[in-house]
Structures are given as C-alpha cells and as structure tokens.
Amino acid sequence: MDANTFLIQVLNGIQYGLLLFLVASGLTLILGIMGIINLAHGSFYMVGAYLAFSLSQHFGSLWLAIAGGAVLAVAIGLLLEWLLISRLYHRDHLYQVLLTYGLILVFEELRSVVFGDDVHGVAVPALLQASIPLTDTLSYPVYRLWMSAVCVALAIGMYLLIQKTRLGMIIRAGSTNREMVQSLGINIDLLYRLVFALGVALAAFAGMIAAPVASVFPGMGNQVLIVCFVVVVIGGIGSVKGAMLAAILIGLVDTFCKVLTLEIGGVAVLPEISGMMIYVLMAVVLLARPEGLFGKRG
Amino acid sequence: MRKIRVATVVLLGCLIALALLPLVAEKYYIQLFTKMMLMAIFAMSLDLLVGYTGLVSLGHAAFFGLAGYALAFAAPQYQAANLWLSLPLAMAGSAALALVIGALVLRTSGIYFIMVTLAFAQMVFFLFHDTKIAGGADGIYVYAKPVAAIAGWEPFSLENHTHFYFVVLLLLALVYALLRVLLASPFGRVIVGIRVNEQRMRSLGYRTFRYKLACFVLSGALAGMAGYFAAAQFGFVSPDTLGWHQSGGVLMMVILGGMGTLNGAILGAFTMMLLELGFQGLPAVGEVDIGKHWQLLMGGFIVCAVLLLPHGLLGLGRLVSPRPETGSD
Amino acid sequence: MTEAVLRTERLTKHFGGLAAVSDVSLGFFIDQIHAVIGPNGAGKTTLTNLVSGELASTSGHIYLDGEDITGLSADRISQRGVGRSYQKTNIFLPFTAFENCRLAAQSRLPSSMRFIRPALRYDNVSREALRALVEVGLEHRAQAPAATLSHGEQRQLEIAMTLATRPRILLLDEPLAGMGGEESARMVELLQKLKQAHAMLLVEHDMDAVFALADRLTVMVNGNVLESGTPEQIRASAAVQEAYLGTEDAHA
C-alpha cells in the first residue's frame, strides 16, 4: 500500500466514522438521557436516504431534498415520540426493544411497498461532482470531503449545544432523573421530545448525505444500527465524546480491514473476516472496560 | 390449588390434541406444526434467559443457527449424518459458543446486555456470511435428514414427516419437563432470585456470574437443539437463520405469550407463526399485495401488543383472576 | 479478651477527593453489640459496605478471624460468615417470606449448581429457613408474599434472611428505621438475644435504642472515628458532646 492509497483509506475511514457518529450520537443521547433503547434508530437513517432519493427526484436538487427531508425527519421524530415512545418511559427495556423492533418491520415494509426492493442511486450535486487528483491515477471525490466537513460542523454544533446551553447542562448531567431535571425548571416532556426528534433528525440527515455515496437499498438501516450499537458500547452510553472517538476508531478499523490482506498459515483471514473485526474490537473493550471507554459504571 | 389443576388439564389437553393431530391432518399441517413446536422449544430456551433470569438477549438466534450449520457440516453432500452423534455435537457446539459469548456479555447488564448480545450474534452472522466456510451469503443445503440408526437398527426415520413430528413433539414435552424440574431445583431458585434482586443474591453469598453463565450455556444448547431439527426439517441453513430478525422474532414470541411461564413461550410461538401464516394469506388491497408485505401487519401488531398487552397473552387470563408470584410455582 | 471476630485496620475509602471513611480501626467481638453512630454522611453505611465487600477499600485491611479478607468479593465475604442487612429494605418482594429465607439458607449448600432434586426437598435448608423465621418471630407469616408484609415485618424478614446464612458477625444497617414503638421494642429484644452468639456491628439513629443495646460505641464524624469506648465513656466525652450528641439532643 503506497502513501496515496493509504491517505485515501484514512480519509474514507474518517468519513465513514463521522457518518457513524451522526447516527450513533443520537442513539447514545436517547439512551443516556431518556433511557430508551431505540432499535428503530437505523430505520431513520434509511428513511433519510429514501427521502433524499425521492425528494431529489421530485425537486431536481439534492439540496432542496435535504432541506425538506430534515424538516420531515424532525416531524416524524416529534410524532413518534408523542404517539409511541412517550408510553415507554416507565416500562422495562424489554418492551422498548419490542416496540421499536415492531417499528423496524413497519418502516422496512413501508419502504418495500412505496419504493420496491431495488437498489437506487442518488446523483451527486453538480456543485460537488469534481475530484481532487492525488496522482495520475488516483483522485479523491470532493463530495466525500464535503460530507466529512458537514459532519465535523455538526459535531462542533453538538459540542457547543452540550457545553454552552441549558439543554446541554442536563445532557451533561446524564440524568434520567425526572425530579432533578424538573427541579431545574425544565419541562421534561418537552425535553425528551426534542432530544428524540434531534436524534431522528441526525440519523436521517446522515442517511441523506450518504445516499449519493452509498446508494439506497433495503436493509441499509439495520446494518448501520448494529454498527452504531458497537459504537455506543465502545464509547459508553450517553457519552457523545465517546461516540465520536469510537465511531472514528470503527470507521478506520472497518475500512482498513477491508483493504488489507492477511493470511495466517495459508488461510486467508483478511479481508475475509473484515466484517467481524469491529465486533472483535468490541470484545476487547468489553474485557478491559465493560462500561465503555467513557461510560459511567453502573 | 384449583388454578394449578386447571392449567395442568389444559396442558394435557393440548398434548393429547397434538399427539392426535397426525391422524387427521394432511402432510402440510403436520409439517407446519412440527415447525411451530420447534419454535416453541427455541422460545422456551430464550424464556429461561429472559423470563426467569432477567437476561434480555437479542442474539439468541446465533445458537439456533450454529447448530443448523453443525448439521450441515456433519452431513456433507448427500450423506446423512447419524442423529445420535451429530445432535449432541451440534448442541455442544452451540453450548460452547454460548460459553464464549456469555463470558463476555455477562460482564454487562441492562441496556448494554441487549446491545452486546445483538452485536456478538451479528459477528457470528458475518462469519458465515462473508467467508466461504459454509456457502457464504447463499447458505448451505442439508440434503439428507439425520439417520437414527443404532447398530443397524433404526427406531424411526426422520425422512418420514409423521415420525419427524412425533420426535419433535416428544422433545417439546421433554424440554418442558426438564425446564420445570430445573426451575424447581436449587439452581432454578437461584436464577429467579437473580432476576428479582441480583445484588441481594450476591450479598447472600451467591456467585451470580456463574449461575448466569450456566443458564446462558444451557439456554444456548437448547436453542441449538431446536436449530438442529429446524435445519433438518427445512433442509437449508443460511446466515439469516442466525440473523437478528430471527432473534427479534423469538423474543417477540416469548414476550407476546407472557414471559417467565414456559407456557407463554409455547403459546407465543404458536400464535406468532399462525399470525404470520394468516397475514401471508391475506388478499391484495388495491395495488398493495398485503400478503407479500405481511411484515407491515406484523410490525403493527407488535407495536399494538406492547402497548395493549403488558403481560402477554397469558396476562389476559390473569386480568380475570390475578395471581401473585409466590416463587413456589 | 478473646480475639476479635472481625477487625478493621486503618480502613479508608475515597470517593474522588472525598474521604468517606478514613483510617478506621475497630474490632468486633462475640457477645458484644458494637454500635456505630454519627450524623448523616459520617461514613457509617460506607463502612458497612466496605466490610461486606460491596465496596472496595482504597487502603487498609479487614481481618475475619485473623485472616485477611480485604478485597474479596461480597459473595465470598458472605460465605465466610459475614451477614448484613440493609438500611433500605432489600428483600425478594415477589417471594414468600419463607422462600426469602430458604434462598438465604440455600446459599450455604456447598454449591447451588443442583439441577434435579426440587429445592423444597432439601430438608436441612428448609429447616434453617424456618429456624430463622422463628428466631425473628415471623413464622406465622411464612407463606405470605414479602410484598404484602408490613414495614416492620419486612425489617424482621431482612434480619431473618441474614440469620439463615448462619453468619458469625452481623452488619445491621439501621434495623429500627421506620419502625413503630412496639415493633422497635421487639427488635431490640431480638438483637439482645442475637448478640450472645454473634458479633454485631449496629448502625442506628435511634439513640435510646443505641444506649440501651450497645456494649461498645464508636462515634464517626466526616469519615473519622471521633471516639470509641463504652457507652459511659461516650456519654462523658466532651468531644462527642460537642460534635454530635449535643446537636442531636437539640434536634430531639
């Protein structure tokens, strides 16, 4: 592997990691603040991607699609929290798992009814279609750089939100203690609704900007969901910082395991079992720190 | 006392009905019920974890599917495996996997446990999906059903669907009885104690990790038993057999029926599979083929069940006559 | 005097920068109720948790029968004969009172990895459970689900469970908390009976009961031992008067 290929893989790994962060940060916040385990979180990623696909065809512009999609995603989040999720706060995790599992089936099948089961591509906007040449034969697409930049910008926005605002203060307290939060004069029902909608919007947004690179296909949400679980487990529940670190780590590990070749005793190991490597990583973290890198014990 | 007798009578009635079914039913229904009973065994094995020990596993299909693959390995090409050899082997394989995964996941609890069991099952999924050890994403066929020969004598033939049915019915009854005995034993009392108050169990001197791990392994082995026969019946194993939809589905069976009761797991398995069949048979409405998109209805059903049936189907009965959990049943 | 059943040596626990328990060296003997008193946050419950193994100490040692048990897990410490009850009732609410004690007694089987014989047919275990219930005077409630017991009965059950494990030392965290006058009197009587065969660490806020029961008193303030001695010595101690008893009396 020469220096340029290496650079490209590093960029790919980071870009994948940043995208994972967008989805995982919402997941970890919903877990940490609301105490809700949301299996349908990956479905929002898928919903975002399909919104980008259909709206960009409708509007003829990915930019308009993303703007419209973001609004829709927030609306979906608010509606779902109000209609279903809010009924789960005092229930066992088991029921949260089941209800959100049911939601996955609903979303996945609705997708099948509306869009069919084919893979669809989404065009990269004209503005970002260029590539930056690295050597005579290698180049890096501008769109991927833009994706990373947007993710970083959102991450900074979240950092400011968490460090500088009252909402952030509660998030930092990592509190699911209703009394404590209410004693601060905060409407907890509204807070939960907003956090959930924010999480949905982040996941959907990740799906929208990923659509031109990853295309849209059945099952894409679940694939992302499980990887995001790994991110949350490694990073520690409720820790946005941990999610960031773990997401980048997993992005790089996954990317490099797919391009490296490794043989042990004549048996091809990589990239054969590259799909398993992030789980191996998770196992190692569990052995060393069962509560995750930035998690609280308990 | 009267209540227990009613339950026993209902159970015996069901057992007799199941035993008589092959006399009246066609092959299709015999095979359908075989499949339902296998899922009931699978669901009971999970109930041991979820309902009794309080460990919500979202990766239980890994043990189910692995045993199926074990059968596929034991029956290469068109050769049939020996039942008495390959079944224990397959179950031991599932138990060994449960031991390894359990040792890791039981370091966590609560929400973590749910996510981590899912993730490790996914790891096993990728092992079979991405590598060539067993046909990759396409899966692998089990061409011949296992042979139950002991020194040339064959008491029954699994190729015969009625024989297969009775073997599975026997296993269902055996597993049920085994779990009932287990739950009444000191071990059974310990795991229920762990569900209710693990910290207190520790302060009473129980090394709870060991009991949870033993339970995890046993549950994995029983799931393996179900998976082995499911693979034999279906004649095919693919990564989806151990995928997370399978894990989610069986968890739904346990909870829908009413967890921590065993009866609920069986009831849940039968109900879910009949519902699936019912949904699949629905006619098209306008342009939408409802039968093809049955998962939509199933998803909606699950959501409604969670909201409306907090104690599962068995809980409906309890609404009529409430019964406190005394730890003596 | 005979050797202490349990002894702590410069036991210390830090939470971050806060020393919840520091340099506590105490001994606990058979036939002696050793009460630990002090204002809220003095470190009494933390001390109990350290001894029972539910918290790991930062430094210092714990000796049981002269053997160092520092750093052992809670289950092992329990197995070696340290039994504890909790400030907040900590029982198995869905189970019957009998089953609560039976589970406790069952923990003394060499192993509970027993899968076949019904738990109820282990006669020794059932006998122990019943004995513990009788000891606290709860045998008439044996078949009642713990959740349906009154608060006082639940406190009694809590003690009975501890007794069913046949401990040599009892760590009792506010056994009288929230009890009515008659229930309290019964519990005081019970503790007096129990001390004959057990060493006892008693954390309690009810000063009347403490001075009625304790053979030895330790006053803790801010994680430190302020004074330790007989009830008479404690009553006479100027430091204690100033730091604790005086203000407590003012409250009452």
Of B185, B203, B208, the CB nearest to C84: B203
CA distance B217 to B214: 5
Of B187, B197, B325, the CB nearest to C114: B187
B53: phi then psi, degrees, rounded to nearest 5: -95, -15
The tokens for A12 are 């790919």
Q: C82-102: string of b/e by CB count within 10 Å (b at 16+)?
A: bbbbbbebbbbbbbbbbbbbb
CA distances B60 to B14, B66, B221, C131, Å, are 27, 10, 11, 42
DSSP string, C67-88: EE-TT--HHHHHHTTEEEE-SS
Whole-number mean pLDDT of chain C?
91
How many beta carbons lie within 10 A of that of residue C153, not counting itself? 19
The answer to whether C29 and C4 have CB atoms below 8 angstroms apart is yes
Q: Quick check: C114 and B202 CB within 8 A?
A: no
Of A95, A104, A275, the CB nearest to B130: A275
- Tell which of C76, C96, C109, C112 to mutate to test the B interface (max B CBs under 10 Å): C112
Chain C adjacent subunits, 3+ CB pairs under 8 A: B
pLDDT in tens, C158-202: 999 999 999 999 999 999 988 888 888 889 999 999 999 999 999
Is A298 inside a domain boundary?
no
Q: Quick check: C115 and B204 CB within 8 A?
A: no
Nearest Cα neighbor of B230 from B24, B70, B93 is: B70
Beta strands in chain B (DSSP E): 140-141, 236-237
3-state secondary structure of B249: helix
Residue in chain A closest to B121 (alpha carbons) equals A279
Of A37, A107, A279, the CB nearest to B120: A279
- pTM comes to 0.91
How is chain B split among helix, strand and coil, in percent rounded to 5? 75, 5, 25
Above 90 in pLDDT, residue C41?
no
CA distance B271 to B292: 19
Q: Which residues of chain B have pLDDT under 50?
A: 1, 321-329
Residues on chain A touching B280 (C-beta within 8 angstroms): none
C62 DSSP assignment:
E
Is A85 inside a domain boundary?
yes
Is A253 inside a domain boundary?
no
- Tell which of B46, B101, B111 to mutate to test the A interface (max A CBs under 10 Å): B111
Nearest Cα neighbor of B214 from B84, B50, B319, B98 is: B98
Q: Which domain holds residue A11?
A: 3-122+141-218
Above 60 in pLDDT, residue A121?
yes
ipTM: 0.91
> Residue C207: which pLDDT band, with cuts at 50, 70 and 90?
confident
Query: What size, in residues, is chain B?
Result: 329
Q: Quick check: B114 and A93 CB within 8 A?
A: yes
Sheet with C32-37: list strands edge to edge. C82-85, C169-173, C199-203, C32-37, C216-221, C224-229
Q: Quick check: A286 and B107 CB within 8 A?
A: yes
- Tell which of A29, A103, A227, A229 to mutate to test the B interface (max B CBs under 10 Å): A229
Nearest Cα neighbor of B98 from B50, B63, B124, B141 is: B63
Nearest Cα neighbor of B143 from B232, B65, B68 is: B232
The answer to whether A181 and A175 have CB atoms below 8 angstroms apart is yes
pLDDT, residue C1, reads: 53
C224-229's contacts with Cβ under 8 Å and 24+ in sequence apart are: C224/C22, C224/C23, C224/C24, C225/C23, C225/C24, C225/C25, C225/C26, C226/C38, C228/C26
Longest dimension (CA), chain A: 65
Residue in chain B closest to C106 (alpha carbons) equals B186
The answer to whether C130 and C139 have CB atoms below 8 angstroms apart is yes
Is A181 inside a domain boundary?
yes
Nearest Cα neighbor of B194 from C94, A237, C17 is: C94
Pairing of strands C224-229, C59-64: unpaired
pLDDT, residue B324, reads: 44
Amino acid at B43: A
Q: A199-217: string of b/e by CB count within 10 Å (b at 16+)?
A: bbbbbbbbbbbbbbbbebb
Residue in chain C closest to B188 (alpha carbons) equals C115
pLDDT, residue B32, reads: 95
CA distance A15 to B200: 47
Interface of B with C (CB under 8 A): 181-182, 184-190, 193, 196-197, 199-208, 210-211, 214, 324-328
Region of A115 (left: φ > 0; alpha: ψ -120 to 50; beta: rest) is: alpha
What is the mean pLDDT of the segment spanning A67-93?
92
Q: Quick check: B200 and C74 CB within 8 A?
A: no
CA distance B99 to A115: 43
CA dihedral (B147, B152, B153, B158) in degrees, to 10, reads: 10
Does C118 sit behind a cis peptide bond, omega within 30 degrees of 0 on the bond before it? no
CA distance A191 to B318: 37
Least Cα separation, residue B7 to chain A (angstroms): 26
Count how many pairs of residues, chain A against chain B, have C-beta atoms within 8 Å.
Answer: 128
Above 60 in pLDDT, residue A176?
no
- Bridge partners (DSSP) of residue B281 are none
Of B193, B205, B214, the CB nearest to C165: B205
Is A269 inside a domain boundary?
no
Domain count, chain A: 1
pLDDT, residue B72, reads: 92
Of C54, C125, C143, the CB nearest to B203: C54
pLDDT in tens, A184-220: 677 788 888 988 999 999 999 999 999 998 889 998 9
3-state secondary structure of B79: coil
Amino acid at A119: V
CA distance A61 to B258: 50
Interface of B with A (CB under 8 A): 50, 56, 58, 104-105, 107-108, 110-112, 114-116, 118-120, 122-123, 126-127, 129-132, 244, 248, 251-252, 255, 259, 288, 293, 295-296, 298-303, 305-307, 310
Listed in sequence order, the DSSP H helices in C18-60 are 44-52
Nearest Cα neighbor of C143 from B327, B1, B188, B52 is: B327
Q: Quick check: C92 and B190 CB within 8 A?
A: no
If you count DSSP H runs as helices and E runs as strands, how many of each does chain B have, helices first? 12, 2
Nearest Cα neighbor of B162 from B270, B30, B35 is: B30
Q: Quick check: B205 and C75 CB within 8 A?
A: yes
Above 50 in pLDDT, residue C249?
no
Q: Quick check: A102 and B306 CB within 8 A?
A: yes
Q: Which residue has the higher pLDDT, C181 or A229?
A: A229
CA C21 to chain centre: 17
Task: Tell me if there are at least 3 CB pairs under 8 Å linking chains C and A.
Answer: no
Residues on chain A touching B110 (C-beta within 8 angstroms): 93
CA distances A190 to A193, B27, B107, Å, are 5, 57, 35
DSSP string, chain A: --HHHHHHHHHHHHHHHHHHHHHHHHHHHIIIII----TTHHHHHHHHHHHHHHHHHHHS-HHHHHHHHHHHHHHHHHHHHHHTGGGSTTS-HHHHHHHHHHHHHHHHHHHHHHH-S--B--PPPGGG--EEESSSS-EEEHHHHHHHHHHHHHHHHHHHHHHHSHHHHHHHHT---HHHHHHTT--HHHHHHHHHHHHHHHHHHHHHHHHHHH-B-TTHHHHHHHHHHHHHHHH-TT-HHHHHHHHHHHHHHHHHHHH--EEETTEEEETTTHHHHHHHHHHHHHHH-TT-TTPPP-
Q: Quick check: A97 and B303 CB within 8 A?
A: no
Residues on chain A touching B118 (C-beta within 8 angstroms): 226, 229
Q: Quick check: B50 and A113 CB within 8 A?
A: no
pLDDT, residue A103, reads: 95
CA A158 to chain centre: 14
Q: Quick check: C107 and B214 CB within 8 A?
A: no
Chain B adjacent subunits, 3+ CB pairs under 8 A: A, C
CA distance C39 to C22: 16
Q: Quick check: C99 and B186 CB within 8 A?
A: no
The answer to whether C32 and C215 have CB atoms below 8 angstroms apart is yes
How many beta carbons lie within 10 A of that of residue A271, not counting itself? 16
pLDDT, residue B312, reads: 75
A123-127, A227-231, C96-100: range with lowest mean pLDDT: A123-127
Residue in chain B closest to A291 (alpha carbons) equals B108
Q: Quick check: B207 and C113 CB within 8 A?
A: no
Nearest Cα neighbor of B124 from B68, B76, B61, B72 is: B61
Q: Quick check: B112 and A273 CB within 8 A?
A: no
The tokens for B55 are 């460990």
pLDDT in tens, A39-67: 999 999 999 999 999 999 888 888 999 99
- Tell which of B203, B213, B215 to mutate to test the C interface (max C CBs under 10 Å): B203
3-state secondary structure of B289: coil
Q: Quick check: B130 and A229 CB within 8 A?
A: no
The tokens for A290 are 């069962």
Q: Quick check: A276 and B126 CB within 8 A?
A: yes
pLDDT in tens, B50-81: 999 999 999 999 999 999 999 999 887 778 88
Q: C16-27: string of b/e by CB count within 10 Å (b at 16+)?
A: eeebbbbebebb
The answer to whether B166 and B101 have CB atoms below 8 angstroms apart is no
Identify which of A154-158, A241-245, B225-229 has the greatest average pLDDT.
Answer: B225-229
Of C79, C90, C119, the CB nearest to B189: C119
